[in-house]
Amino acid sequence: MSDMSVSFSDPKNPDATIPIVKGIDLTIEPGEVFGLVGESGSGKSVTALATMGLLDPRTAHIDGSIRLQGDELLGGSTGRGANRSLRGSRVSMVFQEPMTALDPVFTIGSQLTETLRAHTRISAKEAKKRSIDMLDSVGIVDPAARFHSYPHELSGGMRQRVVIAIALLCGPELLIADEPTTAVDATVQLQLLDLIREACEATGTSVLFITHDLGVVSHICDRMATMYAGEIVETGDVSAVLSAPQHPYTAALLGALPRPETRGTTLTTIPGRVPVPGTEPEGCWFADRCAFAMDECRDSHPPLATGPNGSLTRCARIDAIAPDLASAAGIGVPAAAHSGGRP
């Protein structure tokens, strides 16, 4: 996506709009897992829904460009992101709560086969076979029997596996995973992360992985971007960003992670809140919450520029504060090592 912005109609003023996502630039390579992180209110899910074409066109206004293998998603008849013919086939999404993503009145099998037959010309018999095979590939025990189960008959982890199966069923080019492991325990979380990673490596599917958990990012993602107040404030390779963050917000998120050495102490928090959309200050939008902010940070809004470690960062003082950010992030060993991630 290039310079992609999303705004919503102001309920208090029908002639005005409120900017939510501002000028996002992202490129995800085939087979790559790209992490999008930030606290609630940063604009992560709105970015995903805009790409999927799931925002209400009566209230949402999308500008910029979203391209899938060269095809413009915002330039079609709807201009609203991926349309119905693309959703489920070329672009799929795994939502964070499987009980709301699955229809409770239809069996698992009917939801799988409906997705498959909506995008491919195959018989009901072949659709059933491919659906059962997909359930087996995502680790569902006795998939032929579970094919006839209703969502409420499955555990939370199994329901999320079904949601992943539906998303992967048609071999999408892009998979958007919006905090897909939030509702499951740690053991199942690791299994689901490995499942997504392995499935996409096998098919070359690109993944936009949305999460607030930097430990998950270190485990599954190749590159990452940190979002704050609707814009990207840092982006780069996961190993570079997590071992040497180049923006105070990324460093603050890392510093708030619980670690074995901090057991028994009060966890670090980030003071303040994300600015209300439409009320962002003139300078750096993180300045009021930043431990390194100076008067110059409030004068003008910084652009994305290359930091000392090669990552892009939206910080005007990065050259002066880079040595201090690792300490603020609590980094004494590589981030992937202390967060349980892959090296």
How do residues 268-310 score in pLDDT, each as one tens digit? Answer: 889 999 999 989 999 999 999 999 999 999 999 999 999 988 8
pLDDT value of residue 75 = 63
Spatial separation of the C-alpha atoms in residues 57 and 53, rounded to whole Å: 9
CATH class of 31-59+82-212: alpha beta
pLDDT digit string, tens, across residues 172-184: 999 999 988 876 7
Reading across the β-sheet that carries 2-10, which strands appear in turn?
Answer: 13-24, 2-10, 60-65
Q: Which range among 2-16, 151-165, 286-300, 324-338 shows the weakest confidence by mean pLDDT?
A: 324-338
pLDDT value of residue 198 = 87
Do residues 154 and 204 touch, judged by C-beta distance below 8 A?
Answer: no
Instruction: Name the residue with higher pLDDT: 288 or 336.
Output: 288
pLDDT value of residue 333 = 40
pLDDT value of residue 334 = 39
- Confidence class of residue 80 from pLDDT cuts 50, 70 and 90? low
pLDDT digit string, tens, across residues 218-236: 999 999 999 999 999 999 9
The β-bridge relationship of strands 60-65 and 305-306 is unpaired
78 pLDDT more than 80: no
Amino acid code (one letter) for 137: S
pLDDT digit string, tens, across residues 106-128: 999 999 999 999 998 999 999 99
Do residues 262 and 275 touch, judged by C-beta distance below 8 A?
Answer: no
83 pLDDT more than 80: no
pLDDT value of residue 338 = 35
pLDDT value of residue 159 = 92
199 pLDDT more than 90: no
Spatial separation of the C-alpha atoms in residues 218 and 39, rounded to whole Å: 17
329 pLDDT more than 50: yes
- Specify which residues 237 forms β-bridges with: 223
Angle at 87 between CA 83 and CA 90, to 5 degrees: 110
- Strand locations in 163-295, DSSP E? 174-178, 206-211, 223-228, 231-237
264 pLDDT more than 90: no
pLDDT value of residue 7 = 95
CA 145 to chain centre: 33
59 pLDDT more than 70: yes
Burial of 14 (0-12, 13-18, 19+ CB in 10 A): exposed
253 pLDDT more than 90: yes
Which tokens in the block code for residue 177?
A: 């995973």
pLDDT digit string, tens, across residues 4-32: 999 999 988 888 999 999 999 999 999 99
Instruction: Name the residue with higher pLDDT: 262 or 311.
Output: 311
Interval 137-165 mean pLDDT: 93
pLDDT value of residue 81 = 62
- Confidence class of residue 321 from pLDDT cuts 50, 70 and 90? very high
Spatial separation of the C-alpha atoms in residues 34 and 181, rounded to whole Å: 16
Which tokens in the block code for residue 122?
A: 């195959």
pLDDT > 90 in the chain, percent: 64
Domain boundaries, the chain: 31-59+82-212, 237-266+277-335
